[in-house]
Amino acid sequence: MTEAALHYAQSTVLIADPESNSRRSLNRMLLARGYQTREAVTGDQALNLLFSEPVDAVICDVAIPGTSGIEVCRQIREVSQIARLPVVLTAGVDDRKSRIESKKNGCDEYLIKPIDQTELLIRLEYLILHYEEDRRLLKSSASLKHTVDEQSELLGKAMAEIGKARRTLRQFNEEIVFRLSRAVEFRDDETGNHVQRMSRFCGLIASSLGMVTEMTDAIRIASALHDVGKIAIPDGVLHKPDKLTRAEMSVMRRHADIGHRLLTGSDSHLLELAATIALTHHERFDGEGYPRRLSGKSIPIEGRIGAVADVFDALTSVRSYKSAFSLDTALAVLEQEKGKHFDPQVVDAFVGQMEGIKNIMLVHADR
């Protein structure tokens, strides 16, 4: 007995044949080889048995009464649970049309009676071997899919937890930033709602420029600290109601460098972004700003955004030294300063969000 025959000696073969002599001959041949057998004399009986008992292969006569052998084969191939089952069709005569039709409907072998015992056993063993391998692979595949599904579910839960943790951390960072910005508010009466409006204007511009949500949020939050350096400016300069002298203006301008020194050197991307905005939001596109006299695209984009948002809010707000400009007047100033004080692209992005601008001014208006 071959290795395959030894391995599959307990396989069950369904013999479906109306001729008792043929069934007896096949039965004797298979039992001697170690197979178990089941018998059917009609196609319908064969199908009923297939759907009620485990079978590892089918030997069916093409001309079996009722449902034909070819139809039995076709129905087997249409049922997913047994679609790969080995099917050997047998025929009393070698009819080419029947052979072709049998192959078209999925039979694995087509043998002519009287059947050669050696040929049948070799082909049957080969078919059962591959059938068992297919079932093993399918079982392994199903097990692997189950494992992958389980791991995917666990990964999904882990990613959800990470996302939740990130959102919590972002909210925590945002709260820290805005609480820190209130330290400036206590020293500068004009800073409170200005911080709220200016930071939201920055977020609005960043979004209009097409930045990803994460960066838009970061710029919005970080820009709240743009004037944090004012905590080191003397009260006499910070609260002077009249126009500052040249010397006093020099002192006031230090707040950009001071804010940068306070915020830079952190492992936090948010604080580093805030440090850059604090340092560069008073730079001008034409290079006439402070403290570094940077110009054009050498000014970081967050600084160019901060410049527009900061000046626009200053123009439309009441200050000790001026009245608030109307919205149209403030927008006209921005247009006039395109390419001089401001990056034209940033101004256009801001002006294009008029509804958002009005909403921010309404929600965070000075009371």
Is residue 308 pLDDT above 90, yes or no? yes
Closest CA to 238 of 230, 246, 227: 230
pTM: 0.57
What is the band of 162 on the pLDDT scale with cuts at 50, 70, 90?
A: low
Lowest average pLDDT, out of 149-153, 181-185, 252-256, 296-300, goes to 181-185
> Any idea where the domains of the chain sit in the sequence?
3-140, 186-363
**3-140 CATH pick, 3.10.20.90, 3.40.980.10, 3.40.50.2300, 3.90.1570.10:** 3.40.50.2300
Query: What b-and-e string marks burial along 25-39, b requiring 16 or more CB atoms within 10 Å of the CB?
Result: bbbebbeebebebbb
| Angle separating helix axes 301-315 and 213-222, nearest 10 degrees | 50
**What confidence score (pLDDT) does residue 1 get?**
44
Q: Give dist(CA 80, CA 46) in Å, integer.
A: 17
**What confidence score (pLDDT) does residue 9 get?**
54
Q: Output DSSP code: residue 267.
A: S
What is the band of 5 on the pLDDT scale with cuts at 50, 70, 90?
A: very low
Q: What is the mean pLDDT of residues 159-176?
A: 67
- The structure tokens listed for 79 are 């049922």
Q: Is 140 left (phi over 0), alpha (psi -120 to 50) or beta?
A: alpha
Query: What b-and-e string marks burial along 228-256, b requiring 16 or more CB atoms within 10 Å of the CB?
Result: bbbbbbeeebbeeeeeeeeebeebbbbbb
What is the band of 65 on the pLDDT scale with cuts at 50, 70, 90?
A: very high
Q: What is the mean pLDDT of residues 56-71?
A: 93
186-363 is classed CATH 1.10.3720.10: no
Cis peptide preceding 291, ω within 30 of 0: yes
**What confidence score (pLDDT) does residue 80 get?**
79
Decide if 3-140 and 186-363 have a common fold.
no
Task: Return the higher-pLDDT residue of 63 and 134.
Answer: 63
What does the mean pLDDT of the chain come to?
A: 86
**What confidence score (pLDDT) does residue 4 get?**
46
Q: Are 12 and 36 in contact (CB under 8 A)?
A: yes
What is the band of 172 on the pLDDT scale with cuts at 50, 70, 90?
A: low
Is residue 330 pLDDT above 60, yes or no? yes
